[in-house]
């Protein structure tokens, strides 16, 4: 897979070579070494999408045993792919250390670095949903440790987004894409995973701290996504439609909106149970119920706003006249999931 699949709107591999991401091939650059060097962070979109498929099969209402089996199969497949992709990525940056700083400076490839913590979050969620009921609190503690690691990575990628946008100034708003939302999804899904993990760990103090930090993560990611969506809506209304190669990215705004609403509901459920048990906000009557009711109400509003973006995306994709296959096709799965 060439570097150009990461950023089809930028053109060819030659464009990335000029920015220092893809250096010229040497005479020994063949076979697996070439695959390693071209293994860009965008491949972790596959982890995101496969992970959300396993979660959806597990959480479907009126679920059957056979759906649970399919969910576990996708979970194991996703874990194997995650370990393989992580190994290849580590080899890439060890064998070619000059690529990593170039990727971080790149205006588009740097945004895909956030796909790693998002993919890891799907594995954490499935660990809580599948492994904890079978193997007990030990797996819940393991998931909690992974959540802390994932949260740090999500924070780094989210704040790095601001640096990338401001340091790579663009003269035209038309150059903006929905890829800016990927690092924001990372911090929002960390909030969602925090609610699931906190509900599984046995220590109530740890649960409360995880809950509070997850609400803070929500406050970081969700308002930031609304700012990006406002700019993106302006870009879609005053400039030409997106090129067919990146038309699938119209579905990306569904991700942070849907996740924001779902996060509030998950965190509200936990607050409803945890606040009375830990005497949190004791001077506010039924504080946990208030958090749950407000979260449920706001979650419905955000879900409705996500439906608007979904309909717009479907109409524009359907009228685009067809589009070539590229890595962006995985964008069909995760936001909708």
- What is the Cα–Cα distance from 62 to 56, expressed in whole angstroms? 12
- Is 252 among the domain residues? yes
- HSE, side-chain direction, 13 A CA sphere, residue 291: 23
Share of the chain above pLDDT 90, in %: 31
**CB-count exposure of residue 88 (10 Å: 0-12, 13-18, 19+):** middle
| Residue 104 in this model has a pLDDT that exceeds 90 | no
**Within-domain flag for 80:** yes
Residue 337 within any structural domain of the chain: no
- Listed as own residue / partner, the contacts of 134-143 with beta carbons closer than 8 Å and 24 or more positions apart are 137/200, 137/201, 137/202, 140/197, 140/200, 140/201, 140/202, 141/201, 143/197, 143/200
Per the structure, how many domains does the chain have? 1
Q: What is the pLDDT of residues 271-304, one digit of tens each?
A: 999 998 888 887 777 888 899 999 999 999 999 9
* CATH number of domain containing 207: 1.50.10.150
Instruction: Look up residue 230 and give its two tokens.
Output: 């406002």
Q: Do the domain assignments include residue 20?
A: yes
The pLDDT tens digits of the residues spanning 129-186 come to: 999 888 888 899 999 999 999 999 999 988 877 776 666 655 567 677 777 888 888 8
Taking all residues of the chain, what is their mean pLDDT, rounded to a whole number?
82
Give 3's DSSP letter. Answer: G
Q: What domain range includes position 134?
A: 3-332
| C-alpha to C-alpha distance for 257 and 329, rounded to whole angstroms | 20
Q: Is residue 304 part of a domain?
A: yes
Is 10 contained in some domain? yes
Contact yes or no for 158/220 (Cβ under 8 A) = yes
Residue 239 confidence (pLDDT) above 90: no
CB 204 within 8 A of CB 264: no
Position 3 pLDDT exceeds 50: no
Instruction: Say how far apart CA 83 and CA 97 lie, in whole Å.
Output: 20
Looking at residues 227-245, what average pLDDT do you find?
Answer: 79
Task: State residue 178's pLDDT score.
Answer: 75
């Amino acid at each position: 897979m060439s570097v150009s699949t990461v950023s089809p709107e930028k053109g060819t591999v030659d464009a990335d070579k000029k920015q220092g991401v893809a250096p010229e091939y040497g005479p020994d650059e063949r076979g697996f070494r070439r695959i390693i060097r071209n293994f860009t962070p965008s491949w972790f979109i596959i982890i995101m999408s496969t992970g959300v498929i396993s979660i959806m099969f597990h959480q479907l209402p009126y679920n059957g045993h056979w759906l649970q089996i399919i969910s576990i199969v996708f979970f194991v497949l996703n874990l194997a792919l995650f370990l393989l992709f992580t190994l290849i990525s580590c080899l890439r940056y060890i064998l070619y250390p000059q690529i990593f700083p170039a990727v971080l400076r790149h205006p588009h490839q740097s945004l895909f670095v956030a796909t790693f913590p998002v993919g890891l979050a799907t594995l954490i969620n499935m660990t809580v949903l599948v492994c904890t009921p079978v193997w007990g609190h030990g797996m819940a503690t393991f998931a909690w440790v992974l959540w802390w690691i994932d949260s740090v990575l999500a924070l780094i990628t989210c704040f790095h987004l601001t640096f990338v946008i401001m340091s790579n100034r663009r003269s035209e708003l038309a150059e903006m894409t929905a890829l800016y939302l990927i690092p924001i999804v990372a911090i929002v899904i960390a909030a969602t995973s925090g609610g699931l993990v906190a509900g599984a760990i046995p220590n109530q103090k740890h649960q409360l701290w995880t809950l509070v930090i997850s609400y803070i993560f929500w406050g970081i990611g969700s308002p930031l996504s609304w700012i990006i969506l406002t700019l993106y809506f302006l870009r879609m209304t005053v400039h030409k439609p997106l090129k067919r190669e990146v038309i699938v990215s119209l579905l990306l705004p569904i991700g942070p909106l849907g996740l924001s609403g779902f996060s509030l509901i998950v965190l509200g459920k936990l607050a409803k149970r945890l606040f009375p048990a830990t005497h949190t906000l004791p001077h506010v009557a039924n504080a946990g119920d208030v958090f749950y009711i407000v979260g449920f109400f706001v979650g419905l509003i955000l879900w409705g706003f996500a439906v608007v973006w979904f309909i717009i995306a479907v109409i524009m994709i359907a009228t685009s006249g067809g589009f070539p296959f590229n890595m962006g096709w995985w964008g069909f799965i995760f936001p909708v999931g």
